[in-house]
Amino acid sequence: MSVEDYQKAKEIILNEEEIADFVGGHTDELISLAEEKIGLKFTGLYFEYLKTFGAGNFGAQEIYGIINADFENSSVPDAIWYTLTERREINLPDNLLVIYDTGSDEIFCLDYNQIDDNGEPKVVSFVPRVNLESQTYEIIANDFGDFLLDLVKQEVQK
């Protein structure tokens, strides 16, 4: 169950302060502004992440979110800025929100075309140098909770 995974991940992040570096939670107003800018509605677990942590790093893992209201002049780990940039530069489809850069050939995105019964989008991989017709959209995690827990566990097991 993804809510439990998210709660577990949140607990680990809060307990490992020395490797957690987040901008801090955001208001509903700022989150709404981001939704309008990007044309997507954030739900459940990712919405909770934005309200609790905003965006930032856990150890070497950088989890994208919202930094502030200046979505045009920002940088990683700003998911809104990064997604808008990728839409312009590589024709990233509008249903994807970039939440993680692997540092190799792919980026991980929430896919708002693949939503489960709880309204949670799947986390899929997108390969920037591959044509849209050839993308496989491999499912990386069933939802943001699963994804976050995996990342967090990788860092605490080092």
Q: pLDDT tens for residues 124-151?
A: 999 998 999 999 999 999 999 999 999 9
Q: Using alpha carbons, select from 154, 157, 149, 156 the residue that is nearest to residue 6.
A: 149
Length of the chain: 158
What was the pLDDT predicted at 43?
85
Chain-centroid distance of CA 124 in Å reads: 11
Whole-model pTM: value is 0.96
What was the pLDDT predicted at 2?
78
pLDDT digit string (tens) for 49-91?
Answer: 999 999 999 999 999 999 999 999 999 999 999 999 999 999 9
| CA–CA distance, 4 with 113 (Å, rounded to integer) | 23
